[in-house]
Each structure stands twice: as structure tokens, then as C-alpha cells.
Amino acid sequence: NKLCPEIPKVELHAHLNGSLSRATMLQLKRYYADVGITDTSDAFLDEFQIGAGDTRNLSDCFQVFNIAHRLTRTPEALAMATTLTLKEFQEDGCCYIELRSTPRETPFMTCRQYIETIAEAMRNNAHLPIKSRLIVSINRTSSIKEAESIAELAISFHKQYPDIIVGIELSGDPNVGRFEDFIPALTSARFAGLKVTLHCGEVCNPQEVMEMIQFKPDRIGHGVCIHPDFGGTEETWQALCKSQIPVEICLTSNINTKSTPDYNSHHFKEFYKANVPVIICTDDKGVFSTSLSQEYRICADVFDLQPAQLAKLALNAVDHIFAEEERKAIKEKILNFINKNSL
């Protein structure tokens, strides 16, 4: 398991504002001080992290993102946050990342400028070993009209930045809003060539899980309440197995938000056994004080996976990245690692 930081890994489920490390947040605070904009007090930074023993649950978690949002409200700060986060993932052995973020209008930028800023920051970092792409997020607490305008923006930016903007996703508080209301926006994005991933089954709602699986997204996130032992039904579980939709698994996130009681009873075990394609991801590495290599290590320790099986998880994840043109080179990187370490 000492190999975890060294395995070339792919990250497919990371929310930008949830991924800000304390070091990045402090750097952003210094930037605001330098340009003379008042910002949050240091005390707020302590509330950003949600550990295992925290009394806050999944619904409460959505408040903490406001802390990060205050720190990414100018284009300069957002670009810095993007660059610093990419570099942190790279230092952790990640060779490809799909960052996702919800376009937000702030006193300093429009939603259009928000996407443009992240896309430009990614382009400016294209020389780094880590390859990056952007997935545009729709928050399910937003109105249908807002969702449609975000989808339109994603479509127009996909045309302008086909090398950067590859997908669209649905996230935000799963207890608010209905998936069906977002189908038209997601469908138009898909029709324009964007891949789709959906936060699915974070809370017990078998009917919505069925609607999502029937929509045939390219991937889903979490999938906590799909197996009958975890709040799903036999129908949702069979539908997922049959669909072979890859699932972005976020172990620590599910534990720390109390969606899952402990690592041992995480649904990863059932998914892995049933050959549902799984991808180990971090979700919000800043909020949950984790890293991608730590998630791999936890997965190995808890589910007794050998280094060869871990490397295979990384290798298989490559089949599900949205930038199809990057797959070959990344696979070669991982295969070289496998051969070099005789796994």
C-alpha cells in the first residue's frame, strides 16, 4: 500500500470548491489581503473540514461550500484555486483529472466568466504532466430555467474549448429538486456531445435511481442507496448491474457525511464483487481531508486488495474518462508502472 501515491491514478469525481486544501485557502486569503478585498476570518477555515466524528451530516455539508465560495469569487482567485488544486492532485500521483464546478455569478464575474476562467487556467496548465478537463455542474437546487442556461453555456464552451470542457453533471443537495426536471437540460447537453454524469442514490429514493439509470448517463456518482442492503431495491440493483454504468466511488466522503456507517460496510464491496465498474475518487478532498492515494490505500486496507488489484482499478478507470483521446497514453503510463513493479 506504500505504492498508492506512486500508482498513476485518474480522478473522475472532484468538486473544485470542495477540493481546496487548507494551504490553498490560506494562499487565497493572502491574495484577497493583497488586493484589499475583505474576506472570511480564519475561524471559518476550521469549519470547512468535516471529519469522521463530525456531528454534521450530508445536508449540513452543503453549507460548508459557502466558505470556499467566498474565496473563489474573483477570476484571479478562481484561476489560482484551479491551478493549485491541479498541482496538488499531480503531487499525489494523479495523471488525469476531471474537475467539476458549478458556474456561479459573483459581484466580480458572470457565470460565463466563471467557466472561462477555469477553462483558461486548465489551458495554461496544459504543459503539466497532469492532464485536466472540466465538467460543468448543475446544482439540483437551481430552477429549471437556471439549469437550462447553465447547459447552454456548457454547450457553447464545449464548442470553444473542446479540449477542456467534456461533460455536464447534476449535483447539490439530493433532498431538494427532482431529477426529471433536469432531463431536458441534460439531454440538450448530451445531444451537443457532452458526456453526462449524475449524483445518484446518495439518499434513499429508488424511483429517482431508476429514472437516472434509464437515462443512461455515462457515469454515476456515489450510488450509495442502490443495493437492497443499503436502501436500494432488488430492481435498482439489477438495473445497475445490467446497465454496467461506471460508478464513481467516494469512500471517505460517504463515511464523513454519514451516508455510510463505516468503511467496512461500504457498498464498494458489493459493487466490486458484482463486477460493476468502479472508480475510486475523492469527491471533496479539502472538506474531507483526504487525497486520491489515501482513498486507494483505505480501499486496499479495508477490502484487502493486493497492489496488483489496486493498479488494475486505476487501469480500468481509464476506460471511463470523458476525454477519449487521452485514454491510450494514460493506459500506457499505468501499464508501465505495472510492469516496472512486476504486478
Q: Which x/- pattern, by CB under 6 A, does the window 58-77 give for ligand 5GP?
A: ----x--x------------
What is the torsional sign of CA 236, 56, 114, 325? negative
Give the footprint of ligand 5GP on residues 114-173 (CB under 6 A). Answer: 137, 139, 171-172
Catalytic residue from among 11, 98, 169, 202: 202
Per DSSP, 109 falls in state B
The CA-CA-CA angle for residues 1, 337, 323, to 5°, reads 105
| Annotated catalytic residue 202 | yes
Min CB(62)–ligand 5GP separation in Å? 6
- Asked if 101 touches ligand 5GP (CB under 6 A), the answer is yes
End-to-end CA gap in the chain: 13
Minimum distance from residue 64 beta carbon to ligand 5GP (Å): 9
Between CA 50 and CA 61 the distance in angstroms is 8
Strand partners, 149: none
The residue from 208, 248, 284, 326 that contacts ligand 5GP (CB under 6 A) is 284
- Per CB under 6 A, does 174 bind ligand 5GP? yes
- How far is residue 232's CA from residue 213's CA, in Å, rounded to a whole number? 13
- In this chain, which of 18, 167, 201, 206 binds ligand 5GP, going by CB under 6 A? 18
3-state secondary structure of 96: strand
Q: For residue 53, give the DSSP letter.
A: T
Three cell numbers, residue 38: 475583505
* Cβ-Cβ contacts under 8 Å for 62 (sequence gap 6 or more): 172, 173
Closer of 69 and 269 to ligand 5GP (Cβ): 69
Nearest to ligand 5GP of 16, 154 (CB atom): 16
Q: Write out the catalytic residue numbers.
A: 202
Which residues lie near ligand 5GP (CB under 6 A)? Answer: 15-18, 62, 65, 101-102, 137, 139, 171-172, 174, 199, 202, 253, 283-284
